[in-house]
Structure formats: C-alpha cells, structure tokens
Chain A
Amino acid sequence: GAGVSQSPSNKVTEKGKDVELRCDPISGHTALYWYRQRLGQGLEFLIYFQGNSAPDKSGLPSDRFSAERTGESVSTLTIQRTQQEDSAVYLCASSLAIGRVGEKLFFGSGTQLSVL
C-alpha cells in the first residue's frame, strides 16, 4: 500500500482479555517501530524491528506485551491480560533503514485501545 496501515482502528476489550494489533508497513521499509500514546501525552517507544536483526524490546512495559514481525512485512503487537492502564493509542511507524540515520518515520493512523 501507499502508507502504513494499522488495524483495527478502534478496539474495545474487557480487562483480562488478550488483544492483537496489526501493522502493515510501507513496502521496502526495513525498520518498523511501535509507540504508545496515552491521552494528552507524548509517544512512548515500545519496540523496533530492523530487517532480520534481533528486535529492540527495551521499551516494552511488561511481559504482557510482545510483538512479532514476519520478515520485513507485517507486525503484530500482542497485549495479554489487558489492564485499564493499557488504554491508549498504539502507533506503528516504518522507515527505510534504521542504520541510515536521519530517515524519517512514516506513521499509521494508530489503533485506539480501550480497556473497560
């Protein structure tokens, strides 16, 4: 596609349930990032993938959060046993290559997650 695509755009779930968020990056972009944005706050880094290298998971807030990426394409962010504090917009971004410093990020429209 022309841009970064995220699905679903909105997700309402009950506390304790698992959720899976999907991101389709721009074709050819080897770097993929997940960020979280709570209401009125800045972006909090979660995880990034670069090609076949081991992902940088340093931003994941707990072991309930995990993410996978298939090659250089689709990524899924999974949150297990959701808590109310997980409610936020989850943003995915891709760029050409993280090793080429200065590459700008292209963002998807995000998934608004609401945990009741």
Chain B
Amino acid sequence: SQQGEEDPQALSIQEGENATMNCSYKTSINNLQWYRQNSGRGLVHLILIRSNEREKHSGRLRVTLDTSKKSSSLLITASRAADTASYFCATVPSGGSYIPTFGRGTSLIVHP
C-alpha cells in the first residue's frame, strides 16, 4: 500500500518560478523524506524532516511538515530546467517497521 500521496500529479512551470508539491499521509510517522527521480531510474535523496520538526531548508528547497494535518510540502524556489524530474515523498512509520513507503510522485516540468 502507498502511504504518502503527492499532489499535484503533474506540474508545469516556467524557469524562475517556484514549484510547490504536497504530500499527504495516513498513519503516524517518525520522519518524512523527499526524493527526486530522473528518467524513471534511481532516486536521489533530497531532504529529511523529522516528526518534531516543522520546517527545513536545503539550498533552494524548503520542506514543511504539519503532523496535525498529516501533510508535507516541498517548495523549489527559482526553478531551473534542470529541476525537471519526478519528486516522491517517503514516509517512515513510527514504531515497528522502519521501511520507507513511497507515494506516486509529482512530475515536474520546468520550461526554459
């Protein structure tokens, strides 16, 4: 089963604009991670936010977490054509299994 669900499924923007992707989940988590995938192959870890954190930054990336709403958002500021990729959130449950569960992803296209 897929724990996290990203929204929107697809996003098309112009270079320089900001891109916002959302992730909703259902059960309690220990942390939430965002990954990027180019061309349908290997994923690359972007950022991790723990359940007791509300916001984290890494370069042009900003991630927020609202555990009361069971949702997270990934903001990419000043987007570039090279940011074109699919972005996935992965939730790590609290207690028991620590296996990350991935959503279906958001496909981002940044037009030059």
A interface, CB within 8 angstroms of B: 4, 33, 35, 37, 39, 41-45, 48, 56, 89, 91, 93, 98-99, 101-102, 104-110
Contact = CB atoms under 8 A, between A and B. Distances in A.
A35 B35 CA distance: 14
B45 A104 contact: yes
A107 B35 CA distance: 10
A56 B40 CA distance: 25
Contacts of B92: 101-102
From B35, B43, B97, residue with most partner A Cβ within 10 Å: B43
Contact of B100 (A105, A106, A109): A105
A42 B42 contact: no
Given A42-B102, A104-B33, A104-B48, 15 more contacts: A33-B100, A37-B40, A43-B88, A43-B90, A43-B102, A48-B99, A56-B99, A89-B40, A89-B41, A91-B43, A98-B98, A101-B98, A106-B45, A108-B42, A110-B42
Interface string B97-112: 1111111110000000
Contacts of A44: 2
Contacts of A109: 41-42
Contacts of A48: 99
B67 interface: no
Nearest to A99: B98
A102 B103 CA distance: 17
B42 A91 contact: yes
Nearest to B5: A42
Contacts of A4: 42
A106 to B, nearest CB: 7
B44 interface: yes
B31 interface: yes
B98 A110 contact: no
Given A41-B104, A104-B33, A56 B97 contact: yes
B30 interface: yes
From A42, A44, A56, residue with most partner B Cβ within 10 Å: A42
B105 A101 contact: no
